Amino acid sequence: MARGDEEFVEFATASSAGLRHAAYLLTGDGHAAEEAVQTALVRTYAAWPRVRRDDAFAYARRTLVNYVTDRWRRKLKEYPTDDLPEHPAGPDIADDVALRQWVTGALSTLTARERAVIVLRYLFDLPEAAVARDLGISAGTVKSTSSRALAKLRVSAEADGSAGSDPPYPPRDPGASATRASATRASATRTSSIGGERS
């Protein structure tokens, strides 16, 4: 195996989990998420000689998000909450399962662009300028889209609370900042920190 191939295998092994988690939040579907990750890695491999010494993860992340949003634009379809995959329940993981289901269901109420902005901004912990660059939009559009999406998520959280149960997602607490590496490895619990606009 060539040196470049060995480096790519190491990169793919280290990056797959974070990309898969992001893809699941973007699509709400396990099979679609896996397909998106595989496509992103294949395209990253094709560009490996060019991106290996730059920022390969940024390229894979951008490819992943663009692939998913392109599919959204073609299908003009949102994934409904009722189609969430089943999660095993148990006394020790019930809260975590409920949180994951709530986060994925809440994200499914957003438009393609809103969901992409939220995932890039808060899961990957990217600044507005980087999100704008990845999505090919202005920083002002990122800011307004993020504000609109967060308002929708707050409405969803407050609706859950008015239904008689505390929402698993704090609607106004932005949580603590994390590095890009830790953000990509975080579980859906990290996503629960989305709740306030950051400058």
Per residue in 163-194, pLDDT (tens digit) is 545 444 433 333 333 333 343 334 333 433 44
pLDDT (tens, 9 = 90+) of the chain, 199 residues, equals 566 689 999 999 999 999 999 999 888 889 999 999 999 999 999 999 999 888 999 999 999 999 988 876 665 444 444 444 454 444 445 555 566 666 777 888 889 899 999 999 988 999 999 999 999 999 999 999 999 999 988 887 777 655 545 444 433 333 333 333 343 334 333 433 444 444 4
Report the pLDDT value the prediction gives residue 1, as an integer from 0 to 100.
56
Report the pLDDT value the prediction gives residue 138, as an integer from 0 to 100.
95
pTM over 0.85: no
How do the domains of the chain map onto residue ranges? 3-191
Report the pLDDT value the prediction gives residue 123, as an integer from 0 to 100.
85
Backbone angles phi, psi at 70, to 5 degrees: -65, -40
How far is 76 from 112, CA to CA, in rounded Å?
9
Compute the radius of gyration of the chain from its Cα atoms: 17
Residue 195, by phi and psi: left (phi above 0), alpha (psi -120 to 50) or beta? Answer: alpha
CATH no. of 3-191: 1.10.10.10
Report the pLDDT value the prediction gives residue 104, as an integer from 0 to 100.
75
Cβ-proximal residues to 139 (8 Å cutoff; 6+ apart), any chain: 128, 129, 132
Query: Residue 1 corresponds to which tokens in the numbers above?
Result: 């195996």
Three-class SS state of 188: helix
